[in-house]
Amino acid sequence: MESLRMRYLIVGQSSADTMHRLGQTLEASSRLGTGQEDLALWLGRMEKELASWDSQPGHQEPPVSDSDREKFEQILDSQLAHLAGLGQRLEEIGHVQLDAQALRSQLSDQKLLSAEILHHRGLAERLLGVSDPLLCSCPEPLRLRLQPSVQALRERTEQLFLRSGACAVQLEHAQSLLAQFTEALQELSPWLEETQLLGEQLSPEAISYEAFKEQQALLQHQLEAALLGLGQFHHQLEELLQWLHRAAEQLQGPAMLRPDLQSCEIELAKHKLYCSWHSLNKVWTERYSRLQEQLQAALSYQETMQRVFEWLDAAELRMAEEFLVGGDLDMVQQQLAELKEELGNQVPVPSCARLS
């Protein structure tokens, strides 16, 4: 059942594609003028006459009337002019527009034009098929004058067909890129709005830069004073500890001579003193390291905020400039790459720079 269902879906999709292509072909055929219909009828008659003459023995030159020769010359000129018109229309459709609706319209017009080019190619191939016997029946001056036109028709028809295929690929690729760009823009829009709000909060109207510098300078001064005071306090404690150590040794001397004195109490007091000192020294080391970290964080935060304000000033100048979007796909891609590089070089505020 699953295999049958898949085959049904494939056949249904193929039928829908075929119906769509037939509809485009019919619409393209309705745009053909009476000149193309007359050409098809004339080609049909000439193909029958030349085929019947070619089946006869003798291989003589086909009997072509002067009116048919004149008609052949007119058709060559008209087909070359029609090719030039199709090439001009293809050139206009090939300019990519960076708008989804306009691009869909371009693709629809290109498919219709592709059907016309394909139809014209069929007529040109039929005309080139009868050109050799018709040229052989022409007088020498006329043949020499028509041969370059026949060669030009052959080359320009093939070139136009290849250009039409390349144009279709380019438009479909542009439509795919535009869809990807639109999807990415929708995903980035919330981030851009959030960034804009943060930028407004960091704007000079919301934060006084001078006040911020004063607060940072005051904080740095307080941290440096705290580090200096803590270092002096640690030095005084070391001196006090040395004095107590010498005092304990002096007290232990008489205690050894006089056992009635409880030297164990002195040892216990000394042990408690050393324990207290080691605990205090540990706390001092931790606090000192913490203050050092805060001081470095304050300096880093001040430097980072300085870069942020400089970047915001530069961004305001850039936003005030007129930004022209190019109409060429390659130019727009280059502009997007340059903007992406500039955004990648912006100065973020690192979370590690927050002071606690």
Question: Which residues span the domain enclosing 133?
Answer: 31-55+64-199
Number of residues written out for the chain: 356
Which of 232, 242, 234, 353 is closest to 300 using CA atoms? 353
Q: Is the residue at 1 inside a domain?
A: no
pLDDT of residue 156: 93
Residue 155 in domain: yes
Chain segment 246-277, per-residue pLDDT in tens: 555 554 444 444 444 444 544 555 565 556 55
| Closest listed residue to residue 80, CA positions, set 47, 124, 133 | 124
Distance, CA of 137 to CA of 127 (rounded, Å): 15
CATH number of the domain that residue 68 is part of: 1.20.58.60
Both 187 and 100 in a single domain?
Answer: yes
If 0-12 CB within 10 Å is exposed, 13-18 middle and 19+ buried, where does residue 153 land? buried
Residue 345 has pLDDT above 90, yes or no: no
Asked whether residue 293 carries a pLDDT value surpassing 70, the answer given is: yes
The predicted pLDDT at position 3 comes to 56
Q: Containing H/E element for 342?
A: helix 329-344
Of 173, 199, 225, which one is at a domain's C-terminal end?
Answer: 199
Say how many domains are in the chain: 2
Q: Amino acid identity of 29?
A: S
Whole-structure pTM value: 0.46
- Whether the per-residue pLDDT at 333 is higher than 80: the answer is no
Do 176 and 301 fall within a single domain?
no
Among residues 199, 228, 263, the one where a domain terminates is 199
3-state SS class at 258: coil
- Residue 19 maps to a domain: no
Largest CA distance in the chain: 156
Instruction: Output the pLDDT for position 155.
Output: 94
- pLDDT (0 to 100) of residue 278: 64
Distance of CA 251 to CAs 69, 268, 270, Å? 140, 13, 11
Say yes or no to pLDDT of 26 above 60. Answer: no
Is there a single domain that holds both residue 175 and residue 256? no
211's tokens: 């006040």
At 213, is the pLDDT very low, low, confident or very high (cuts 50, 70, 90)?
low
pLDDT of 99 above 50 = yes
